[in-house]
């Protein structure tokens, strides 16, 4: 889980990919019919003027195309274009260069040379309030602190629908090193400039470039070069990053097959991003320092070298790479820690899906293309990872890992769809997975199953247990574990459910204690409301939240409410004063109380050990009374099962704004406390009951 800043692949890259897809479909270019382009690209960076001067000599396998259409930023000025060495007049408007190709040039490669200049000056965000929805989307900026030119931003001429290789030379002021995909050919100081050269031999869909005053750290892991491009002040992080990156590269090479690129680099960015690109990851300075970065996010990015950047995603049938990458990184690391950690991860994934993808908003995994909001994250990442977990259980351990190796071996650098994955898993497992993929990938939703009429009858020397196992309203084909705990035994039963209901007949040789379905959370399902402790995430999917200010409060509190709403990404909300709060309004909305209300009757019921009062609060015996302390908690709504009441109780305005922005990062928790803007405690209210668990009330002893 990312907490403070979002991760690469998880964010802007998807937006850009979506843009590329739109372009492809707009121009009617199928993914299969991509043209090959070899770029010899020379770039001069002039940070003092935020300027780029470019010269791109392209060799293009144009086939029978009558015209070539290039994407180049509308911030660029085209100075000259040559086709096979001859000057051409061309049309350049709306970021598009159209270059007619004469008949005599058909059927053989053409050489196009474009000279251009551009100013790239996107404002750089320093402290974005909401990272779930990247409103700040920087695509191209050239500054004295650093340079960031994102693929798709049109910083070089890109033949539409092409995959391209590059020989790239970047000239920049002395000691400014440029870094990108592919293999480094070195960085040379020439007079007052530094020239960085790169060779990108594997065709890529788009190229991103970064440049800054980096220090390079380098070592090899097998045949792979692991590099760090860090600012001098990050030098103390180098050893840990180097070891972790090399370990991940080795781990996944053993698991899936050889790493597909010549190098892996960790590149520091001068503003807070987390991106995963082919063969490198670009992390903001503050992101690099996050404690969970090395343990999870870095591994996740490296796993994308196999899934997404290695085996490509065919977006027409949805993006499978986030679910798979999450499963073989974030989840697998937990499994390697302990089964208890893995179980907790699965439960959290199921909770996220239930809370963030309510039935009215849900969509099939095959329609997920990238993370743009909490809903798409819950489907693409949480549901996606659970689908791979269920697939592993369906086909078995050996077939699962063999199929992934085969998927990588046979599909690396090829557009690959869920259908291709299905076919490879079917071959390896020798079973039809038609129904599995149909219900989990191509259909939306998740099952809701439950126990009904559970009874125990004492018999001749043992107990007979009968129960109904039912599902609804949507029907799934399921194999459910049922754990029956009796006084002297524990047995796990495999139960198949494909209709509305099935009848269970089980035996206990001693008095029955408890029957629990799917006790280890191996199946994705929609949890019953009673199984979900209220959590911050429930607010994020709120259709209409009401932020309530205490009667007579100052304007500063209203500003604070606005900051909180923005941080939570609320789309539909209103800020009202407590005195204008009609009872009907209160009972129909998700409520967020900002500060202690004058009417304490508005406060929701509190779990044991939780107390709120003016000037302080107590949680589990710990009292908070300092002006910089703050509490945020989410509770059940007294009037509606599907709504919540949250309380934001900062003891003063000191650091309250910081907390208002941070709360969103604790989405899965029921409560969170802060001191001086830093998190102190976080946790869940206890779960009340589950329709999957039956506790028997039988007396102990012989029947």
| Shortest Å distance, C-beta 419 to Zn ion | 21
The closest residue (CB) to Zn ion is 9
**Helix, strand and coil in the chain, % to nearest 5:** 30, 35, 35
Looking at the Cβ atoms of 377 and 636, the one nearer to Zn ion is: 377
Min. distance of Cβ 232 from Zn ion in angstroms?
A: 30
The alpha carbon of 652 is separated from its chain's Cα centroid by a whole number of angstroms, namely: 34
Q: Which is nearer to Zn ion, 158 or 322 (CB)?
A: 322
Which of 9, 456, 469, 645 is in the footprint of Zn ion by CB under 5 A? 9
Mark the segment that binds Zn ion (CB under 5 A) among 2-10, 111-119, 367-375, 562-570.
2-10
Instruction: Indicate whether 168 belongs to the interface with Zn ion (CB under 5 A).
Output: no
**Residues 354 and 532 sit within 8 Å (Cβ to Cβ):** yes
303 CB neighbour count, 10 Å cutoff: 28
Options 6-14, 258-266, 486-494, 521-529: segment touching Zn ion (CB under 5 A): 6-14
83: which strand partners?
86, 112
Which CB sits closer to Zn ion, 325 or 366?
325
Instruction: Work out how close the CB of 1 gets to Zn ion at its nearest, in angstroms, rounded to a whole number.
Output: 12
CA 157 centroid distance within chain: 30
The one-character DSSP state at 272 is S
Q: Containing H/E element for 345?
A: helix 339-356
User: Contact at 8 Å (CB) between 365 and 384?
Assistant: yes
The nearest distance, CB 304 to Zn ion, in angstroms, is 6
Segment near Zn ion (CB under 5 A), from 3-11, 266-274, 411-419, 673-681? 3-11
Name, in order, each residue with C-beta under 8 angstroms of 13's C-beta and a sequence gap of 6 or more.
275, 276, 277, 370
DSSP per position, 625-641: -STTEEEEEEEE-SS-T
Q: How many residues bind Zn ion (CB under 5 A)?
A: 3
C-alpha count within 13 angstroms, C-beta hemisphere, residue 579: 3
Please, what is the minimum distance in Å from the beta carbon of residue 140 to Zn ion? Answer: 23
Q: What are the backbone angles phi and psi of residue 667, rounded to the nearest 5°?
A: -50, -35
* Closest to Zn ion by CB, 110 or 372: 372
Contact yes or no for 488/502 (Cβ under 8 A): no
* Least distance in angstroms from the C-beta of 322 to Zn ion: 5
Q: Do you find a cis peptide bond into 473, omega within 30 degrees of 0? A: yes
Residue span binding Zn ion (CB under 5 A) among the ranges 36-44, 165-173, 315-323, 639-647: 315-323
C-beta of 42 vs 322, nearer to Zn ion: 322
From the CB of 300, what's the least distance to Zn ion, in Å?
5
Q: Can you name the residues that pair with 140 across neighbouring β-strands?
A: 149
333 Cβ contact partners less than 8 Å away, ≥ 6 residues apart? 295, 296, 299
Q: Give whichever of 9 and 692 is closer to Zn ion, judged by the CB atom.
A: 9
Tell me the window of 219-227, 320-328, 356-364, 515-523 that interacts with Zn ion (CB under 5 A): 320-328
Nearest distance in Å: CB 380, Zn ion: 9
Q: 314 or 322: whose CB is closer to Zn ion?
A: 322
Q: Which is nearer to Zn ion, 327 or 635 (CB)?
A: 327
Q: How far apart are CA 278 and CA 275, in angstroms?
A: 10
Backbone angles phi, psi at 554, to 5 degrees: -80, 165
- Strand locations in 153-262 (E): 158-159, 162-173, 177-179, 183-190, 193-204, 209-212, 215-221, 224-230
Question: Closest CB to Zn ion among 152 and 299?
Answer: 299
Structure tokens at 119: 């100013």
The stretch near Zn ion (CB under 5 A) out of 167-175, 194-202, 321-329, 623-631 is: 321-329
CB of 325 vs Zn ion, minimal distance in Å: 5
Binding footprint of Zn ion on the chain (CB under 5 A): 9, 322, 325
């Amino acid at each position: 889980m990312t907490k403070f800043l979002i991760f690469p692949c998880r964010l802007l890259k998807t937006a850009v990919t979506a843009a590329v897809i739109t372009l492809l479909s707009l121009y009617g270019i199928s993914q299969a019919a991509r043209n090959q382009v070899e770029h010899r690209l020379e770039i001069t960076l002039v940070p003092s003027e935020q300027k780029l001067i470019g010269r791109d000599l392209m060799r293009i396998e144009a086939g029978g195309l009558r015209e070539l259409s290039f994407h180049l930023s509308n911030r660029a000025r085209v100075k000259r274009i040559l086709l096979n060495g001859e000057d051409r007049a061309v049309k350049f408007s709306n970021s598009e260069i159209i270059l007619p190709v004469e008949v005599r040039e058909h059927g053989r490669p053409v050489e196009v040379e474009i000279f251009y200049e551009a100013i790239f000056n996107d404002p750089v965000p320093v402290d974005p309030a909401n990272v779930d929805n990247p409103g700040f989307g920087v695509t191209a900026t050239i500054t004295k602190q650093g340079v960031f030119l994102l693929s798709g931003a049109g910083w070089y001429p890109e033949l539409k629908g092409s995959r391209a290789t590059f020989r790239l030379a970047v000239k920049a002021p002395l000691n400014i090193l440029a870094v990108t995909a592919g293999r480094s050919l070195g960085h040379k100081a020439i007079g007052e400039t530094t020239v960085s050269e790169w060779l990108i031999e594997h065709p890529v869909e788009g190229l991103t470039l970064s440049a800054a005053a980096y220090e390079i750290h380098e070592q090899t892991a097998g045949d792979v070069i692991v590099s760090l491009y860090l600012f001098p002040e990050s030098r103390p992080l180098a050893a840990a990053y180097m070891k972790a990156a090399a370990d991940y590269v080795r781990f996944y090479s053993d698991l899936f097959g050889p790493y597909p690129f010549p190098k892996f680099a960790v590149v520091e960015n001068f503003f807070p991003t987390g991106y995963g690109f082919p063969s490198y990851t670009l992390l903001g300075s503050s992101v690099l320092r996050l404690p969970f970065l090395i343990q999870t996010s870095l591994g996740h990015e490296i796993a994308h070298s196999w899934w997404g950047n290695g085996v490509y995603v065919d977006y027409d049938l949805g993006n499978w790479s986030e679910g798979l990458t999450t499963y073989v990184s974030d989840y697998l690391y937990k499994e390697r820690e302990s089964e208890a950690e893995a179980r907790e991860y699965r439960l959290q994934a199921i909770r996220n899906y239930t809370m963030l993808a309510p039935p009215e908003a849900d969509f099939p995994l095959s329609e997920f293309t990238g993370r743009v909001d909490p809903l798409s994250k819950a489907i693409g990442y949480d549901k996606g990872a659970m689908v791979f977990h269920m697939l592993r259980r369906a086909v078995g351990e050996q077939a699962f890992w063999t199929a992934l190796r085969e998927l990588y071996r046979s599909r690396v650098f090829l557009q690959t769809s869920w259908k291709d994955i299905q076919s490879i898993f079917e071959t390896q497992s020798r079973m039809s997975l038609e129904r599995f993929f149909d219900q989990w990938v191509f259909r939306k939703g998740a099952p809701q199953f439950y126990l009904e009429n559970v009874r125990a009858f004492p018999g001749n020397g043992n107990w007979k247990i009968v129960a109904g196992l039912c599902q609804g309203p949507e029907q799934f084909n399921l194999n459910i574990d049922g754990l029956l705990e009796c006084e002297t035994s524990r047995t796990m039963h495999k139960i198949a459910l494909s209709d509305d209901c099935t009848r269970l007949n089980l035996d206990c040789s001693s008095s029955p204690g408890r029957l629990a379905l799917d006790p280890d959370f191996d199946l994705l399902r929609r949890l019953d409301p009673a199984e979900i402790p209220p959590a911050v995430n429930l607010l994020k999917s709120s259709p209409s939240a009401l932020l309530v200010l205490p009667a007579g409060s100052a304007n500063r509190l209203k500003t604070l409410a606005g900051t909180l709403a923005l941080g939570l990404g609320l789309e539909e909300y209103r800020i009202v004063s407590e005195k204008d709060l009609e009872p009907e309004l209160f009972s129909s909305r998700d409520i967020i109380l900002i500060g202690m209300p004058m009417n304490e009757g508005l406060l929701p019921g509190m779990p044991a050990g939780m107390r709120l009062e003016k000037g302080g609060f107590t949680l589990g015996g710990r009292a908070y009374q300092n002006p910089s302390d703050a509490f945020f908690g989410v509770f059940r709504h007294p009037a509606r099962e599907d709504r919540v009441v949250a309380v934001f109780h900062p003891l003063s305005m000191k650091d309250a704004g910081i907390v208002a922005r941070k709360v969103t990062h604790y989405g899965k928790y029921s409560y969170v406390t802060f001191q001086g803007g830093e998190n102190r405690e976080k946790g869940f209210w206890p779960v009340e009951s589950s329709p999957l668990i039956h506790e028997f009330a039988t007396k102990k002893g012989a029947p």
